[in-house]
Amino acid sequence: MMQSFLRSPFSTLITFITGMVVLLGYFIDVDPLNVLRSRFLQWTVLLAAVALMLGVFNLMRVHWKRLKESSIKAIYSFAFFGGFLLALAVGGLLGVQHSLTRAVIDFVIIPIETSLFVVILVSLVYALTRLLQSRLSAFSFVFLVTVVFSIIGSIPLLGIEIPFLQGGDGILSLMTRVLGTAGVRGLLIGVALGSVLTGIRVLLGLDRPYGE
């Protein structure tokens, strides 16, 4: 009884009230509403932080189970806990701005993330070279040409800038300013419309991502 009450009508009501208070604050500047809205948003920030902590806790629980299984994956979980404890010890005890914390960032995090990005770069170039083989269409061709021209247009070709290609009045600038803006603007409006519709559906209780 309590369970179903909390789930369906009460949760929907909470979502609706909270959402309306926050949403109206965008368009109506009234003090009591602003105060309430500010409170709600502050609690939201706090709840989001707690949700992140719970997420990390859940991650730890999964790895703890793996660690107890003592399989080959336990080694990976051991590495996870090693990194986790290292970060807790360095960041929590010494401080985030301590030199050892900075050393961990500089010598561990940055090399790993940057190298991963390089691997992704190679994969992207590889995929791009095979684009016309896997899907030959006018749009693929436009996509490929746009990518190549955009890269070439951002650099001087061995120290020489081609007048009509590069520069403020060049083709690339025109393409970026006009054609690129047109396409992205359509995409942005589409994304915004989708966000609005999805949000309104949830606020009105038509969709309930927070429970049944």
Partner 1 sequence: MEAQRCPMCGQANPPHLEVCQYCQARLKPLWVEPSEGSGSAVEDGIARSKAPLEPDEPLVPEWLRTDRMQIDEGASFNAEELGQEEPLFPEEPLDTDDFLGGMFSDEPLGDQGEDVPEWLRSLREDSAAAERPLQSAKSADQDLPIPFWLDFDEGAAEEVPPQSPSAIEKVPPFKEQPFEDIDIDSAIFPSEQEAGEKLTSEEPRAVSPFETFEPFLFTEQPSQLVEDSTSEPEAAEVSSKEGKTSPPAAEGDWMSEIPPWLETLPGEEWMESETAEKEIPPEFLQGAVPPFVETDEELSEIEFPAWLDQVERSIEPELDTVIESLTPPAVERLTTMEEEKGEVPKERPEALLEEEDAVEMVGPLHGLRGVLPAEPLVAEPKKPSKALSELLLTDKQRAQAELFLRMIEEEGKPQPIPPSRRAKPHLLWRVLIFLVLFAAAAVGLVLRPFSSAPQELSVGVFDAMQAVNQLPAEAVVFLVVDIEGSDFAEMLATTNALLDQMMIKGAFFVVVSANQTGALQADRLLREVSRLNGHKVQPSSGWLNLGYLPGGVAGMQAFAQSLPQILPNTVDGEAAWQDKRLQNIRSLADFPLVIVITEDSTRARQWIEQLKGQVSEARLVFAVSAQVEPVLRPYYEANPRHIQSVLAGIRDGAIYETQSARPGWAMQLWDAYTLTALVAAGLIILGALVYFLIGLLVGRKPPVEGKTS
Partner 2 sequence: MTLEFPFLDLLGGAIGVLLTLLVFSSLFGDHFLVRLIFYGYVGIMAGFSVVITFNSVIFPLLFQPILEEPIDGMVQVAIPLLLCGLLVFKVSTRFSWVGDLSLAFLVGAGLAALVGGAIRGTLMPQISAVISPFDLERSSLPPEERLPSLVQGFVILLGTVTTLTYFHFGARPRASGPLRRQEWIETLSWIGQFFIAFALGLIFAGLLKAGMVALVERVQALLNFVITLQRGF
- Of residues 87 through 106, those in contact with partner 1 by CB under 8 A are 95-97, 101-102, 105-106
Minimum distance between the CB of residue 207 and partner 1, rounded to whole angstroms? Answer: 18
Minimum distance between the CB of residue 31 and partner 2, rounded to whole angstroms? Answer: 18
| Paired tokens of 166 | 């590069």
Nearer Cβ to partner 1 (81/149): 149
Question: Mask: binding to partner 2, 175-204, rule CB under 8 A, as x and -?
Answer: xxxxxxxxxxxxxxxxxxx-xx-xxx-xx-
How many CB atoms are closer than 10 A to CB 63? 19
| Paired tokens of 48 | 């989001």
The answer to whether 130 contacts partner 1 (rule: CB under 8 A) is: yes
Binders of partner 1 among residues 104 to 123 (CB under 8 A) are 105-106, 109-110, 112-114, 116-118, 121-123
Closest by CA position to 170, among listed 144, 152, 147:
152
d(C-alpha 200, C-alpha 132), whole Å: 41
15 binds, among partner 2, partner 1, none (CB under 5 to 8 A by kind): partner 2
Binders of partner 2 among residues 93 to 132 (CB under 8 A) are 96, 99, 102-104, 106-122, 124-125, 128
46, exposed or middle or buried, with CB in 10 Å at 0-12, 13-18, 19+?
Answer: exposed
Question: Mask: binding to partner 2, 48-87, rule CB under 8 A, as x and -?
Answer: xxxxxxx-xxxxxx-------------xxx-xxxxxxxxx
Nearer Cβ to partner 1 (77/166): 166
Chain residues in the site for partner 1 (CB under 8 A): 22, 34, 37-38, 41-42, 44-45, 47-49, 52, 95-97, 101-102, 105-106, 109-110, 112-114, 116-118, 121-123, 125-126, 128-136, 144, 147-148, 151-152, 154-161, 166-168, 176-177, 180-181, 184-185, 188, 191
